[in-house]
Structure 1
Amino acid sequence: MRLATVRADDGTEIPVAVTADHGTVPVSDLLDDPPTNTMELLEPATWQLLEQRLGRRSGSGGAREDGAEFTAPYRHPRKVWGIGLNYVDHASDLSEIVPEEPASFMKGDHTIIGPGDPIPLPPQSDRVTAEAELGLVIGSYCRNVGEDAALDHVAGLTPVLDQTAEDILARNPRFLTRSKNFPGFLSFGPHIVPVSQVAGADGRLGDVEVATVIDGQVQRSNTVARMRYSPEFLVSFHSRVMPLYPGDIILTGTPGAVPLRAGMLAECRISGLPTLRNPVVNSA
């Protein structure tokens, strides 16, 4: 089972469960007191209850996935951590030294868009790049955890496109927050997929491949094994900085950034996950 959000005919956003057997099923068909926000479904007990209720259904119910319009899984996480220069090869591309600790930054929820939504290029920047990334969605409260238990606190994985106004950042590294926080600079979805559906036989994510794709052509790709700091380490490290809560997202870094211009189609392709696609437009 995967979690997602779809847009109804009246424009409202509805939490759904997605399975191969049942298609896209509104959570309101499964829970007696359903939340209106998919973020409220991430804790393990709620996820397990949904799976149990789905297991009791016979046949297929709800709208089929191919007819659903997926949106961002949710709009207002408490926090989003981004990680810069986490792929060794990407750092060398930029003539940067891989930092001795994760190069973290934060993004506001005003940056969030979903699948199919346009990425607007702000007039303040002449060089905006898209970066495909593997997103870790926190599912349970997490504070001071070790790497061995870190993925137990991850509800699932999701594709991400993280945008940067690179020309602003190039003027001064202290401008990182500004360069990362224009509206539309964070797309994620369409699904939140359990780690167990993507991980290898060893329970780890090293073989997962992440690719930045423009207009159908792979521009840069790499595997999680080439990260300087593994997903487990990133969860553990940031849980020692501050508490992580259900819905918090950790962006694990990109194998490569690609400059954007209006008319392009940017994609994040990750093995084992559905593809995230967003058209690129000039800001109105």
Structure 2
Amino acid sequence: MKFLRIGPAGHEVPCVLDASGVARNISSLVVDIGPATMPGLIAAVSGVDLSTLPEVATTGARIGSPVARPNNVWCIGLNYADHAEEAGMPIPEEPIIFSKSSLTVCGPNDPILKSKAMTKLDWEVELGIVIGTPALEIAPEAAMDHVFGYVTANDVSERAWQIERGGTWIKGKTYPNFCPTGPWLVTADEVPDPQNLALSLSVNGEVMQDGTTATMIFGVAHVVHYLSQFAQLEPGDLILTGTPPGVGMGLKPPRYLEAGDTVTLSVEGLGQQESVVEAV
């Protein structure tokens, strides 16, 4: 199944795509698509004749994040060997964990916000994992049982804040709209091998990132298992799994986003985003 949320920010309608790709309003079945409804979401929709549900127009409509504000946004850093190389950092022996505020999560085509204080605004296409059931200290072989599905995500980063201001990476990761997500939440059964998905990102039509999840250092199952050793993962939690090479910081010379730039990205089977950088 492919779930999505359509409408103005704060007033999105929960939807599912039918077999013809038409968005159907499921608000009669679930209040929303989020942490509270995630455990029973598939059961609520299963067996329903989707053609009997109201159609929701997508042309010209705003698409919201497919999960209404997750409780947690977990992130894995330097999870592609070639990205670690371009960053000039050693390949991690264990996953590097940081987080983003849930307020960073926005719709897939919402603007990327650039404040006057930002000087090194960067992009990162990533495979996002959405947790379906609570997970704490789970065994590796049980990890995939806790995965609800997957999303396309952009781990937007202000590198000067992340790297040059001391402390932790979260400084450069957690400004509003720094996590465009979606357009769809695709259930795990439709992604039989999350370690074989193409990822791509372009800026103003120029391809910057062209990679595959096959080169991840720590795969989806290991990431979920590993995180659960340190924190309880909750339904709706979003995990960003790292980015392939081609980020602006790694270019020679480096290149960063400016107001008016258009960032287009996709993960195979999970849909495409297109965001314009907006000065605030």
1:73 positional shift:
1.9
Partner of 1:270: 267
- Aligned equivalents of 2:90 and 2:133: distance in 1? 33
How many residues were matched structurally? 272
Are positions 1:129 and 2:122 aligned together? yes
Equivalent position amino acid for 1:184 in 2: N
- Aligned equivalents of 1:11 and 1:140: distance in 2? 25
- Whether the 8 Å CA contact 1:39–1:73 is kept in 2: the answer is no
Secondary structure, aligned partner of 1:76: coil
- Whether the 8 Å CA contact 1:3–1:38 is kept in 2: the answer is no
Are positions 1:145 and 2:138 aligned together? yes
Partner of 2:162: 169
Equivalent position amino acid for 2:23 in 1: T
Partner of 2:278: 281
Secondary structure, aligned partner of 1:3: strand
- Aligned equivalents of 2:21 and 2:200: distance in 1? 29
**Structure 1 residues not aligned, in runs of 5+:** none
- Whether the 8 Å CA contact 2:6–2:58 is kept in 1: the answer is no
Partner of 1:207: 196
Structure-to-structure mapping, 1:37-116, within 5 angstroms: 37-43=33-39, 45-53=40-48, 56-58=49-51, 61-66=54-59, 68-116=61-109
Equivalent position amino acid for 1:52 in 2: G
Identity of aligned residues (%): 29
- Whether the 8 Å CA contact 1:41–1:47 is kept in 2: the answer is no
- Aligned equivalents of 2:21 and 2:46: distance in 1? 12
1:89-108 deviations in whole A, cap 9, x for unaligned? 00001111011111110111
- Whether the 8 Å CA contact 2:34–2:69 is kept in 1: the answer is no
TM-score (norm 2): 0.90
Partner of 1:19: 18
1:219 positional shift:
0.8
Q: Which moved more, 1:128-137 or 1:271-280?
A: 271-280
Equivalent position amino acid for 2:207 in 1: V
1:36 positional shift:
3.5
TM-score (norm 1): 0.88
- Whether the 8 Å CA contact 2:64–2:108 is kept in 1: the answer is yes
Partner of 2:232: 243
1:13 positional shift:
1.1
Secondary structure, aligned partner of 1:275: strand
Secondary structure, aligned partner of 2:227: helix
- Aligned equivalents of 1:170 and 1:60: distance in 2? 49
Q: Which moved more, 1:14-23 or 1:125-134?
A: 14-23
Structure-to-structure mapping, 1:186-225, within 5 angstroms: 186-199=179-192, 204-225=193-214
Q: CA RMSD in A?
A: 2.1
- Aligned equivalents of 1:133 and 1:190: distance in 2? 13
Cα distance change of structure 1 residues 163 and 22 upon mapping to structure 2, 3 Å threshold: closer
List, as ranges, runs of 4+ consecutive aligned residues in structure 1 with deviation greater than 6 Å.
none
Q: Which moved more, 1:133-142 or 1:70-79?
A: 70-79
Partner of 1:5: 5
- Aligned equivalents of 1:224 and 1:39: distance in 2? 26
- Whether the 8 Å CA contact 2:33–2:41 is kept in 1: the answer is no
1:186 positional shift:
1.0
1:130 positional shift:
1.0
Secondary structure, aligned partner of 2:201: strand
Equivalent position amino acid for 2:96 in 1: A
- Whether the 8 Å CA contact 1:5–1:38 is kept in 2: the answer is no
